[in-house]
Each structure stands twice: as structure tokens, then as C-alpha cells.
Structure 1
Amino acid sequence: MDLIQVTPAVWQLSLPVGHVHLARLPDGYALIDTGVPGSAPAILEAVDRLGGRPQDVLQIVLTHFHGDHVGSAADLVAATGARVLAGALDAPFISGTAPGPEPVLTASERALYEQVMAGFAEAGVPPAKPVPVDVELSDGEVLDGWAEPVRVLHVPGHTPGSIALHLTSSGVLFPGDTVATAEGRAILGPFNVDREQAVASFRRLAALETEVVCVPHGEPLTQDAGAVLRSATPETDWV
């Protein structure tokens, strides 16, 4: 388990598939995403390493419904009693009341997608358990319980209800899978339900004032993050 401090109040926990982020609240912690099913013990160990207890996890913010983000949410709710927050349009997919849409793959994405799915099957990763969404979030809302204003942005394209979180005082951005990084560059995350919409969402995030970008896949952007986002070419990058 690789737990690194990204900012004075944010840590990145690297898991076999992607990252989970932990944010310190005035009276506890928030989790941004939860990894694939089976990740709960590692996440709770990370909370313990930071001096917290399971009941100190107060919020679980899910950026979208994909299994590598919501996979351990149900187990973590059972262990912590935390509230689950997610974008309103993805809430039915997270709670299990409707099936989530499949991505529309480009030709070059297809091989990677099949490789990822085969890896999950070989590892015996089960489907994510449904979990009720306590708070359905909409664009422009401000989260309560944080030490600074946290603005919710509806960034559709990767999924219909994808959200990003922008900590407006410190300039920290949690973009979900709209943004990934590779070799110090910001790139469009793959496997989108609507690529054109995802590019527009990427451009919206690039226009924000950001100091740090905490991506679920890739390394965080901790220097000149805003400039890196603005110089990206999501229309042609990644695949």
C-alpha cells in the first residue's frame, strides 16, 4: 500500500487499479472514490495510519459509477457509517436501480478495454455491490463539512453523471476519470460514453484556477497544474 501526502490535507492511496484519495475534514475524513471490490481493508488501514478510526470517515464521494471507483463503497459504508455522495445522473447506476451504460470505444481503446476486463476476470474481481446514494449532487453545489469551499462540477462524458470536486481556496481539483496523466501530461481519460462531451468537460476543468490535480489514474499534477491542463490536447490525446 502506497500512501503519499499530496497537500497538507490530501493523501493519495495507490491501489492495484488506480488511486483513492483521502481528505482531512475538520472533524474526520472524506474519501474520494473507493477502488475495486475488496479495497476496503487497505483504505481503512490508510485511515488508521493517519490517526483516524473507521467512524471518522464521514463522507464517501463517488466521482462516477465504474467499478474501480465504487467497488468498495458498500463495504466501507458498513464499516464506517459514512454518507455516500454522487452525481445525480449516476446515482441510479450506483444504487443498482438501473444498469449503467457501456462506453463507446474507439478502435485503439478496444484492445486496452478488453485487456482490463480480462485482468479483472482473471483476478476474480466481483461486480461492485449496489450502495444507496445519500446525497445526489448537482452542478454548482458546495459540499458541507469541509474546511474550505468545495464546489461540485457536473462533467458528463466519461459517464452521464460524472462529477469533479474543486477546492476553491487551495486550488485542488479531483477530476474523476475525465482527466488522467501520463509522463507529466494531462490526457483525456479513456472509455467514455460520449467522447465529445468528455472533451468539453475536460476543457471546462482546464479553465479553472488549479494548483494541484489529483487524478485517479496516473501521477498527481503538483506543479503548474493549471498550465498543464490548459496545454493539453484532449481532442487527439490519448487515443
Structure 2
Amino acid sequence: MDVVEVLPDRLHMLRFPIGQAYLWRDGAALTLVDAGNSESAPRIEAAIRSLGLRPERLERIVLTHCHGDHTGAAGELAARWGARVLAHRLDAPVVRGEVPVPEPVLLDWELPLYAHALTVPAAPPTRVDQELEDGDALDFGDGAYVVHAPGHTDGSIGVHLPRHGVLFTGDCVAAVGPLMLGVFNVDRARAIESFRRLAALTPSTACFGHGDPLTTDTAAALATAAAEAGTEAGAGAPAG
């Protein structure tokens, strides 16, 4: 696993073979946005320690959606260190294991990619301590708030830290190859609407569920990609 600094003394990306999580720091207090797959807890703990931080200061784990490459280690980390787990109300039953993970409506070019995604270990049922709604304020990042961004899943969210210009998009947006709408959506039209809503926040730093964070000309790049999403040019397979 790679540990990549995004913002000095504030934000690091924890990059796994598939997907990634983000560690936000408010002094010694820590927030994890997404939690990797079910085998990721020891690597996340090691990453925290490698930064000179303490896993017991992990206060919350915010899940951008219910897929196993984002929720897998949340329960283990929460049980071990006392962190609270937060997820949108519509995805919380999936995270808890009460209902199955929703099946995406796949485009033809997504089929082989999806077969690879199915190799991610299934996530164990995980408690959700707080069910989120659009606009909810979160007690980190000097005033973070929830942006409901359905389409990838019904309860997908972005997390916006306006005072720092940071936006976590979850899998609504991807940066694997060109900046684009994320894949494997349950409702592509709603996902496009969510992409455009997130882009309208004009962040200076965008952190994606897949692909490297964007820290230069971010707002313009998001606006262009959001405008192209769903057009003939934006609807096909990514290049490269």
C-alpha cells in the first residue's frame, strides 16, 4: 500500500491495489474517508503509525458508499479503536448486511472491468453509528458537510470541506485515465446529475475513489468532465 501526501500535515491518500482511502488530520484527531477492503485494517493502522500518528485517535470513518472496496475494514478499525462509522441512510442497510449490494446496470465496455472488480473480498456486516443525509454537517475539517450524490449507489455521497477547498467524490467521479464519470452505476443518469452537482462546488482539491487526487486546475477540469459526461464523447470506454 502506498501512502501519498495530498495536503501537507492535513491529508494523505492510502492507495490499495484496488481503490483507496483518505486520512484527514485535525491536529492529532483523525478521520478516515472510506476504509479499503476487508483485508486493509492492518495496512491502514501501519500507515497511520508511519505518519507519526496514533490509531487510537481515529474518531470517525466516513463511507462514501456501500461497496466492499470502501467499507471492508471499517468495522474492524471501529471495533479496535472506537471510531464511529458514518454512511448515508440509503446505503446503511447494505453496510450493515441487511440487504444485498445493489447490482449495477453495466455498459458493454464495463463488463470485463466488472469481472475484475468482483475479485475484491466481500465486506463483513458493519455497524453504522450515524446515518447521514444531504447537507449534514460533520465535525472535522473545519466544517465538512455531506453532499448526497446518488447514481453509483442510491446512498453515494461526496464530502466537502469548503474551508480547505477539498472534495471527496467517492466513486461518482474517477481519474483512472481521463477524468470521467465513475463506472458500475445503478442509475447512470442520476450519476451524471451528481457529477455535475459535485463539480459545481469548484474545489481546489478533488479526491476520488479510484485514481490520483487532482490538485491543479481542479475546478476547471471537473467542470469540463462533468459537461462531457453522458455525451457521445463521454459515454464510451476510457482511453489508455
What range describes the TM-score normalised by the shorter chain of this pair?
Answer: over 0.9
Q: TM-score, normalised by structure 2?
A: 0.92
Residue 220 in structure 1 maps to residue 221 in structure 2? no
User: Is residue 188–residue 238 contact of structure 1 (8 Å, CA) maintained in 2?
Assistant: no
Report the number of matched residues.
231
Unaligned runs of 5+ in 1: none
Residue 238 (structure 1) shift: 5.0
Residue 69 (structure 1) shift: 0.3
> Which residue of structure 2 aligns with residue 201 of structure 1?
194
C-alpha separation between the residues in 2 aligned to 1:108 and 1:191? 11
User: Is residue 141–residue 164 contact of structure 2 (8 Å, CA) maintained in 1?
Assistant: no
Residue 14 in structure 1 maps to residue 15 in structure 2? yes
Residue 79 (structure 1) shift: 1.7
Q: TM-score, normalised by structure 1?
A: 0.93
C-alpha separation between the residues in 2 aligned to 1:13 and 1:126? 18
> Which residue of structure 2 aligns with residue 86 of structure 1?
87
C-alpha separation between the residues in 1 aligned to 2:89 and 2:3? 30
Code of the aligned partner of 1:41? P
Instruction: From the superposition, tell whether residues 115 and 150 of structure 1 become closer, same or farther in structure 2 (CA, over 3 Å).
Output: same
Specify which of 213, 223, 229 is matched with residue 234 of structure 1: 229
C-alpha separation between the residues in 2 aligned to 1:2 and 1:52? 16
Residue 116 (structure 1) shift: 2.7
> Which residue of structure 2 aligns with residue 192 of structure 1?
185
Instruction: From the superposition, tell whether residues 238 and 11 of structure 1 become closer, same or farther in structure 2 (CA, over 3 Å).
Output: farther
Kindly report which structure 2 residues correspond to 1:14-163, keeping only aligned pairs within 5 A, or say none: 14-117=15-118, 120=119, 126-144=121-139, 146-163=140-157
Q: What does the per-residue CA deviation read over 1:85-111, in whole Å, with 9 as the maximum and x for residues that have no partner? A: 111100000011122211110111112
Unaligned runs of 5+ in 2: none
C-alpha separation between the residues in 2 aligned to 1:61 and 1:238? 31
> Which residue of structure 2 aligns with residue 210 of structure 1?
203
Amino-acid identity (%): 48
Instruction: From the superposition, tell whether residues 83 and 188 of structure 1 become closer, same or farther in structure 2 (CA, over 3 Å).
Output: same
User: Is residue 190–residue 238 contact of structure 1 (8 Å, CA) maintained in 2?
Assistant: no
Moved over 6 A (4+): none
Residue 5 in structure 1 maps to residue 5 in structure 2? yes
User: Is residue 172–residue 211 contact of structure 1 (8 Å, CA) maintained in 2?
Assistant: yes
User: Is residue 202–residue 218 contact of structure 2 (8 Å, CA) maintained in 1?
Assistant: no
Query: SS in structure 2 opposite 1:182?
Result: coil
